[in-house]
Amino acid sequence: MMRDETVKLRLDPAGEATERPISIAIVAMGGQGGGVLTGWIVKLAEAAGWVAQSTSVPGVAQRTGATIYYVEMMQPSGGRLPILAQMPTPGDVDVVLASEFIEAGRSILRGIVTPDRTTLIASSHRSLAIAEKSAPGEGIADDSAVTEAIGITARRSIIFDMNALATAHGSVISSAMFGALAAADVLPFPVDAYHAVIKGEGKGGSASIKAFDAAFARTEGKTDEADADPAPAEQATPLRRPIPPRIAGLLDCLQTVMPPQVQPMARAGLAKVIDFQDVAYGSLYLTKLEEILRLDVELAGESKDFALTFNAAKYLANAMAYDDVIRVADLKTRSTRLQRIGKEIGLGPGQLFETTEYMHPRMEELVGLAPARLGRWLRRQDRLYAWLDRRISKGRRVRTYSPGWFLVLYTMAGLRRFRRASLRHAEEAAHRDAWLTLATKLAPHNYALGVEVVKCQRLIKGYSDTHARGLSKFDRAMSEIRRLAHRDDAADWARRLRETAVRDGEGGDFDGLIQTIRSVA
Amino acid sequence: MAERSFAKEVEHLRLGDGETFKGEAILAITKGLLQAGVSYVGGYQGSPISHLMDVLSDAQDILGELGVNFQSSASEATAAAMLSASVMYPLRGAVAWKSTVGTNVASDALANLASGGVTGGAMVIIGEDYGEGSSIMQERTHAFAMKSQMWLLDPRPDHGRIVDLIQKGFELSEASNTPVMLEVRVRTCHMHGSFVCKDNVRPAFTLDDALNTPRRDLQRIVLPPAAYEHEQEKIHHRLPAAINFIREQGLNEFFGPEPGTNESKVGIILQGGMYNNVIRALQYLGLSDAYGDTKVPLYVLNVTYPLIDSEIEAFTRGKDAVLMVEEGQPEYLEQALNTILRRRDVATRIHGKDVLPMGGDYSVEALLNGFETFFEKADPRALGNRPPRPDARPVLALPPVERLKSVVPARPPGLCTGCPERPIFAAMKLVQEDLGDHHVSADIGCHLFSILPPFNIGTTTMGFGLGGASAAAFSRSSGKRSIAVMGDGGFWHNGLTSGIGNAVYNKHDGVFLIVDNFYSSATGGQDILSSRAPNKTRKTNNPIEKALRGVGATWIREVDHTYDVGKMKRVLTEALTTKDEGPKIIIASSECMLNKQRRVRPIEAKAVRDGKRVVKQRFGVDEDVCTGDHACIRLSGCPSLSVKHLDDPLRDDPVAAIDNSCVGCGNCGEVSEAAVLCPSFYRADIIHNPNWWDRFKARMALSLINFLQARRERGRFMLETI
């Protein structure tokens, strides 16, 4: 007879399905007040006669790194005290409070947000990590991935900008998160108990209560307030003046000539170019863009959404509105700037402010301002040039709104009317023409490659060394593109060249890529 | 002045018999020491025991009333040597540090202390910085306890139990003439809980009694032949005395079914510190309830060294298998267990690291997995019908969660907003752009964050204060010089002799950079010898520069405002290129911003409230001037300097932006000036309660500015209007 082991196994649970404590994890960045929130939750539970235990790992994460606080709470039973765990167990956390949106994503990766248990309370604001900030160009993480993951991992989620809400009420994020926790109704304590905890803190209590109440109401869906400050943001509306006929003419022309897909970008481009120089310059922009559009039409660009013209509208404007001393002085002396800074620094009534600019002009910039022939001559006078550079090239602290310095900047900005005679302008114009010529030469053979060449203007930006480096990367990219233009996959290589050049030295290896290209092409 | 004020916590130290203490375990330990009647306490701050030092530092009054001498020791070696007061006198003393790093530093004194033995109770509070969140190498203090024969207490994470073991630990120390270690892990130190207090005890025999009636005994000094005798004493007298005490006092605990009521085939032996997580893991398996009523017999080692052979035999005999729960490696306890059972001829199988991870945290999850394997092997029926256990694995395998892995960026720790060390490393990065990369030996402290993005400076770190010493091999250079970084904390800990003294004596040609931020900042802003603030109970204001001259250094440059990036750059360049011989020493001094803000903010806020004229500074970025290259961020990494997207279709990249947390340290402006970056930064000086002159000046300037602006803007069309 066959032995049947299963019959002998006890099938009843080894123990009763025992009651577990409520577990709360707080994921935060060091120095963000996670400790304060943890303390409040512990007090809340203790005041109700529960046993609460919190743990944290202060170490180095305290200094702006990602860290985690953990609270467990449970009622004593017949004089017996619960034994509480010291760290969260994946799959067994009731509430996760995340004080920043990507940290909510990190908590999901830790496995502490699961569909059967977890209420996720997270602030939707972002505090960027160093890798996101320091990437040349775009490096910000795509937080839609976090939103998507929250959707499938959290039993329930409460997400809004708790930082903005707290700030708007003169408090810090922990108050808003405490409010959201109260409204989430996952802990068996009344709102008054939460209030009592905050009031027990004394200092800063009333602002905290306000932020708490606002977050509570927001979580319960009673208000939409929170994402912005309570008062509607004041729009700095410039005086509405009738558009002068010459500009109106250009706009009309743009509307009749440009295909609809291109129009918004072309309008923005036109505005930027006119703002940079004058209406005539805007007219030049439009003329150049029309030339490209004509080619685009010839090449049946419509089937490609006029990609060539669209990108030219964007990058031609950027190329024409280059960053020079005149532009910086112009931007720094505008009336809108005073208002904007006042708002940025939260200037209160009765307060005044002054600003100091950190400028480091060099001989290059000065020569750039000079009339083209004089500038070229100066460049050839090595000793004179070096002597002048020693006098000019140094850091200068410019007190923008002192009468003297303002006049200096104002005068510099006024040089705008001589700009087109300057050496810098001559060089920028030559660069622009060479670039567009190459793009329009390549486009008929390889439309995509032409578009890629147009996009390479992106490499040029910044001032001083940054600008010089960008220009050199652009030149090298162009010469490589010329070299491989005959290949079918040239556009793809051109795109890789550009993208690598943007990140060169910070995760991109431009030289390496060029060598690779040369070895295969 | 420490980072946190412990004025409130200090009051907890006064609680009397029957009152309930609520708070962090490390503060409960502090209270426990006073209840045990210590005469002296010392130690060196560091996570996770910094709060013990901080609260005692703020509790001078209470300590005075009790006649307790508290010192912030110069190093862990100093603290350990302090315990020598208990060698000849019936004085109880305790010292505390972060381990294993602190124990490494202290070992010389500890070994001597343990050899000669003690008369009064001597205790080391060990903050075991192991596992997630630790800032040091992953090792165990257990090895030190064994090699020097010091008893190692590892209490169950429960305030009452810990405090009780402090009392018992002193008694054990006295009963066996052996110093003891009380090990508390990171999470336990910072665990909130409660216990019922006893009155503080004023020691019967005081430090004065010892000084006024000094005693000596040649037999207690480590020198042959006494040293040989000590070893025999350890084996034949002290160890048996300790074992007796531990057994008689029941320091280790047994939980679970009463022997005989339930024939358990298996049992678990665990380090005391593992208890809470073990109970939770058993609960998930349906083998315990939340209150610790377990169906599996547990033998909890509140003392992990020495082991009590007889208790182990009694627990294991008759069982099929026993699981040893021992966090960290190597598996000393498991090995000892096997030896004990083999010698006593007990056939019970021992499991341990075969089912549990060899290294790393024994989290509930790790224990749960190990327990499952253990019960599968040893007693599958105990698992019954296997209630569902928490398991995040299916959730983690979902594609959108998988995708998150590539999205969520690392968030390494970094320098705080306005940190005075930021401009130092920005200057170093700029100098390296000119002179090429150099070998940089780093040290322990906030400045070690230089090894992370965005600075990426520093090759090795060999221990606190050893930044200078770890450049020793590179003392003779023919081309590029080595650079050694050291903080003021490390400098006074040992760097003055091990780094600078050594470099002077050996005619080291390299550069030594001392980062002086007025505090021991990384550990919580405690005062040190060169701190600038007056301190009632300590002598501060002893300049580093004088110490350097004292050991014979001659090439010394002081930068007393680190935010001057240009100057910092010039001084570094000079140090790297000068023809002068000997070590080139730079002292870069500016106050730790975290401490400065804590000091200055309330004063400023009060002045503003009182209507006094106050100028506050912060930085901003002109977003239309910024081109989105982020070179400034690669020279900063400041939390308040970030990036944002503009609502402009012509822009590809986000631009730099500074938020309201900016403290106006000046680094942004200095760096963009020194590195010739771009003119988009501005500093705003905000004048609160301006006086008539401010208002007059502003009015005059503004009327001119408004006139000029109106004039220009009449003649042209602004961007926004199209």
| A345 pLDDT above the threshold of 80 | yes
Residue B193: inside a domain: yes
Structural contact between residues B683 and B619, judged by C-beta atoms closer than 8 angstroms? yes
The whole-number average pLDDT for the span B244-268 is 88
Check CB contact under 8 Å for A323 and B627: yes
Please count the residue pairs, one from chain A and one from chain B, whose beta carbons lie less than 8 angstroms apart.
426
Q: What is the pLDDT of residue B386?
A: 82
Question: Where on the phi/psi map is residue B345: left (φ > 0), alpha (ψ -120 to 50), or beta?
Answer: left
| A34 pLDDT above the threshold of 90 | no
Q: What is the pLDDT of residue B543?
A: 97
Q: What is the pLDDT of residue B720?
A: 54
Q: What is the pLDDT of residue A57?
A: 78
Residue B676: inside a domain: yes
Q: How distant is the Cα of B703 from the closest Cα of chain A, in angstroms?
A: 10
Residue of A nearest to B642 (CA): A133
Q: Which residue has the higher pLDDT, B223 or A62?
A: B223
Q: What is the pLDDT of residue B263?
A: 65
Same domain, B190 and B209: yes
d(CA A346, CA A348): 6
Query: pLDDT per residue over B150-190, tens digit each?
Result: 999 999 999 999 999 999 999 999 999 999 999 999 999 99
Residue B381: inside a domain: yes
Query: pLDDT per residue over A221-242, tens digit each?
Result: 865 544 444 444 444 444 456 7
Domain of B167, in residue numbers: 9-249
Q: Is residue B519 within 8 angstroms of chain A, CB to CB? A: no
Same domain, B238 and B261: no
d(CA A172, CA A25): 19
Residue of A nearest to B701 (CA): A403
Same domain, B210 and B287: no
Residue B705: inside a domain: yes
Structural contact between residues B144 and B203, judged by C-beta atoms closer than 8 angstroms? no
Check CB contact under 8 Å for B414 and A64: yes
The whole-number average pLDDT for the span A146-175 is 94
Residue A282 token pair: 């805007």
Lowest mean pLDDT among A79-88, A196-205, B23-32: A196-205
Structural contact between residues B527 and B72, judged by C-beta atoms closer than 8 angstroms? yes
d(CA A299, CA A225): 51
The whole-number average pLDDT for the span A51-56 is 94
d(CA A508, CA A500): 5
| Residues of A whose CB is below 8 A from B669 | 356, 358
Lowest mean pLDDT among A48-52, A145-149, A465-469: A465-469
Same domain, B660 and B694: yes
Give residues with Cβ within 8 angstroms of A409, minimum separation 6.
A329, A332, A333, A398, A400
Lowest mean pLDDT among A47-61, A310-324, A466-480: A47-61
- Percent of chain A scored above 70 by pLDDT? 90
**ipTM, 2 dp:** 0.93
Angle at B476 between CA B472 and CA B481, to 5 degrees: 85
The whole-number average pLDDT for the span B473-502 is 96
Lowest mean pLDDT among A51-65, A344-358, A383-397, B532-546: A51-65
- In this structure, whether the domain defined by A22-234 belongs to CATH 3.40.920.10 is answered with yes
Give residues with Cβ within 8 angstroms of B11, minimum separation 6.
none
Q: How distant is the Cα of A477 from the closest Cα of chain B, in angstroms?
A: 18
Q: How many domains does chain B have?
A: 4
Structural contact between residues B595 and B488, judged by C-beta atoms closer than 8 angstroms? no
Task: Indicate which CATH number applies to the domain containing B276.
Answer: 3.40.50.920
Q: Is residue A62 within 8 angstroms of chain B, CB to CB? A: yes
Task: Indicate which CATH number applies to the domain containing B120.
Answer: 3.40.50.970
Q: How distant is the Cα of B679 from the closest Cα of chain A, in angstroms?
A: 5
Q: Is residue B581 within 8 angstroms of chain A, CB to CB? A: no
| Residues of A whose CB is below 8 A from B681 | 357-358
Structural contact between residues A144 and A159, judged by C-beta atoms closer than 8 angstroms? no
**In whole angstroms, how large is the CA radius of gyration of chain B?**
30
Residue with tokens 């064994």: B146
The whole-number average pLDDT for the span B618-639 is 91
Q: How distant is the Cα of A26 from the closest Cα of chain B, in angstroms?
A: 15
Task: Indicate which CATH number applies to the domain containing B702.
Answer: 3.30.70
Q: Is residue B722 within 8 angstroms of chain A, CB to CB? A: yes
Same domain, B298 and B241: no
* Angle in degrees, 0-180, between the axes of helices A372-380 and A423-442, rounded to the nearest 10: 100
Q: Is residue B160 within 8 angstroms of chain A, CB to CB? A: no
Same domain, B428 and B528: yes
Alpha helices by DSSP H, listed for A51-172, are: 101-109, 130-134, 144-153, 162-168
The whole-number average pLDDT for the span B493-501 is 97
Start-to-end C-alpha separation, chain B: 58
Tell me which of B408, B643, B646, B708 to substitute to probe the interface with A (most A C-beta atoms closer than 10 Å): B408
Residue of A nearest to B189 (CA): A55
Check CB contact under 8 Å for B688 and A133: no
Residue B654: inside a domain: yes
Q: Is residue B405 within 8 angstroms of chain A, CB to CB? A: yes
Identify which of A57, A63, A458 has the shortest CB distance to residue B414: A63
Give residues with Cβ within 8 angstroms of B86, minimum separation 6.
B92, B93, B118, B119, B120, B121, B122, B179
Q: Which residue has the higher pLDDT, A520 or B616?
A: B616
Q: Is residue A111 within 8 angstroms of chain B, CB to CB? A: yes
Residue B720: inside a domain: no
Residue B416: inside a domain: no
Q: What is the pLDDT of residue A58?
A: 67
| A15 pLDDT above the threshold of 50 | no
| Residues of A whose CB is below 8 A from B701 | 401-403, 406
Which of residues B249, B278, B304 is at a domain's end? B249
| Residues of A whose CB is below 8 A from B291 | 77, 80-83
Check CB contact under 8 Å for B415 and A59: no
Which of residues B249, B279, B311 is at a domain's end? B249
Indicate the average pLDDT of chain B.
94
Same domain, B512 and B617: no
Same domain, B210 and B292: no
| Residues of A whose CB is below 8 A from B363 | 87, 89
Same domain, B267 and B358: yes
| Residues of B whose CB is below 8 A from A357 | 679, 681-682
The whole-number average pLDDT for the span A246-253 is 90
Q: How many CA atoms lie within 13 A of B153 on its CB side?
A: 30
Structural contact between residues A135 and A63, judged by C-beta atoms closer than 8 angstroms? no
Same domain, B343 and B472: no
Which of residues B183, B215, B249 is at a domain's end? B249
Same domain, B679 and B622: yes
pTM reported for the whole predicted model: 0.92
Phi, psi of A105 (to 5 degrees): -60, -40
Residue B401: inside a domain: no
Q: Is residue A278 within 8 angstroms of chain B, CB to CB? A: yes
Q: What is the pLDDT of residue A62?
A: 59
Query: pLDDT per residue over A65-104, tens digit each?
Result: 788 999 999 999 888 999 999 999 999 999 999 999 999 9
Tell me which of A69, A107, A344 to substitute to probe the interface with B (most B C-beta atoms closer than 10 Å): A344
Tell me which of A74, A163, A345 to substitute to probe the interface with B (most B C-beta atoms closer than 10 Å): A345
**Cα separations (Å) of A41 from A54, A154, A196, A348, B517?**
9, 21, 12, 35, 35
| Residues of B whose CB is below 8 A from A406 | 701, 704-705, 708
Domain boundary assignment for chain A: 22-234, 423-521
Burial of B707 (0-12, 13-18, 19+ CB in 10 A): exposed
Residue B611 token pair: 């209507």
Residue of B nearest to A317 (CA): B650
